[in-house]
């Protein structure tokens, strides 16, 4: 049963610490998304990649957030330094896009709490 | 630019009643449209999608949605609500093409009363 895997599921950290969230997309998918979900803002697209190359990261605060795909099986989202306002659920999703469109398959999310 | 507006952040229905969740879209090109469901502490799961084929789209769990270009709408319906349908529902739009980008609405929380 193919699924997107995110680790860790929960993370509590102190303000100022570095946080790294990891995502294993579904094998064969060529597009990876990072979303952030909060009560106030809903689902916000932070960044997305096609064939490991960043296509759009305009939703990400550049001074503290970074997203990478070291290889096709791993996507990372890093926050350094973390702040209490970064507390949210971070979702990774993957999909196979071949000129048209397709649905995105979501992971279970990483619930981040910054104290 | 593309966007979706979900009318009603919270909808409450009785078990067995019709479910109607509203979504209007804005897109400069023919859109691809999606409905997702999110159960507590879970990720989002695709219910159904419209990709310019049939305007009436059937999805999982008895849900369906109708694409109406003249009304720029893609409302989600289910004839008879079950308790297990209680969840948050998200409408999403994409333009498709090489710069595929999925934009979500704010979500509608569905409550089903016994």
Which tokens is B101 given?
Answer: 């980008």
Average pLDDT over residues A35-40: 93
- Closest-CA distance of chain B to residue A50, Å: 9
Any B CB within 8 A of A49 CB: no
CA–CA separation, A45 vs B99, rounded Å?
14
CA B32: distance to chain centroid?
12
Residues 6+ apart with CB under 8 A from A59: A44, A45, A46, A47
How many beta-carbon pairs below 8 A join chains A and B?
58
Reference B30, options B46, B45, B47, B52; nearest CA is B52
Task: Write out the DSSP string of chain B.
Answer: --EEEEE-SEEEEETTS-EEEEEEEE-SS--EEEEEEE-TT--EEEEEEE-SS-SEEE-GGG-EEEEETTTTEEEEEESS--GGG-EEEEEEEE--STT---EE---EEEEEE-
Mean pLDDT of the region A78-99:
92
pLDDT score at B96: 61
Interface-testing mutation among B44, B87, B101, with chain A (most A C-beta atoms within 10 A): B44
Q: Is the peptide bond before A115 cis (omega within 30 degrees of 0)?
A: no
- What kind and span of H or E run contains A47? strand A42-50
CB-CB neighbors (< 8 A) of B90 in chain A? 43
Return mean pLDDT, chain A.
Answer: 93
Query: What stretches of chain A show up as alpha helix (H) in DSSP?
Result: none
Pick from A8-22, A54-68, B7-21: least confident: A54-68
Residue A6: pLDDT over 80: yes
Residue A99 has a pLDDT of: 65
- Check residue B2 and give its pLDDT: 79
Q: Which band of pLDDT confidence, cut at 50, 70 and 90, is reported for residue A57?
A: confident
Please name the member of A42, A45, A108 whose beta carbon is closest to the beta carbon of B43.
Answer: A108
Which positions in chain B touch A4 (Cβ < 8 Å)? 43
Give the mean model confidence (pLDDT) for residues A48-74: 92
* Residue A49 pLDDT greater than 80, yes or no: yes
CB of A82 less than 8 A from some CB of B: no
As averages over each run of 10 residues, the pLDDT of chain B (114 residues) reads: 89 97 86 92 92 88 94 96 97 75 92 96
Map residue A85 onto helix, strand or coil. Answer: helix
Number of H helices, E strands in chain A: 0, 11
Please give the average per-residue pLDDT across A21-26, as a whole number: 97
Q: Do A93 and B44 touch (CB under 8 A)?
A: yes
- Does the pLDDT value for residue A58 go beyond 90? no
Is there a contact between A108 and B103 if contact means CB atoms under 8 Å apart?
no
């Amino acid at each position: 049963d193919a699924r997107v895997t995110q680790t860790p599921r929960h993370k509590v950290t102190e303000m100022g610490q570095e946080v790294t969230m990891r995502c294993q997309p579904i094998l064969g998918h060529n597009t990876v998304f990072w979303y952030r979900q909060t009560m106030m803002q809903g689902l916000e697209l932070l960044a997305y990649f096609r064939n490991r190359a960043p296509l759009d990261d305009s939703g990400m605060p550049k001074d503290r957030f970074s997203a990478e795909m070291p290889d096709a099986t791993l996507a990372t989202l890093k926050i350094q330094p973390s702040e209490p306002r970064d507390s949210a659920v971070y979702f990774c999703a993957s999909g196979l896009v071949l000129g048209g469109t397709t649905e995105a398959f979501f992971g279970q999310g990483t619930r981040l709490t910054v104290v | 630019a593309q966007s979706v507006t979900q009318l009603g952040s919270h909808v409450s229905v009785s078990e067995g009643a019709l479910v109607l969740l509203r979504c209007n879209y804005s897109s400069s090109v023919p859109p691809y449209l999606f409905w997702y469901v999110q159960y507590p502490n879970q990720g989002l799961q695709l219910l159904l999608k419209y990709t310019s084929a049939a305007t009436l789209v059937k999805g999982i769990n008895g849900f369906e949605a109708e694409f109406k270009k003249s009304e720029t709408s893609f409302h989600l319906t289910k004839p008879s609500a079950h308790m297990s349908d209680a969840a948050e529902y998200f409408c999403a739009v994409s333009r498709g093409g090489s710069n595929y980008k999925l934009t979500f609405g704010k979500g509608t929380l569905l409550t089903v009363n016994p």
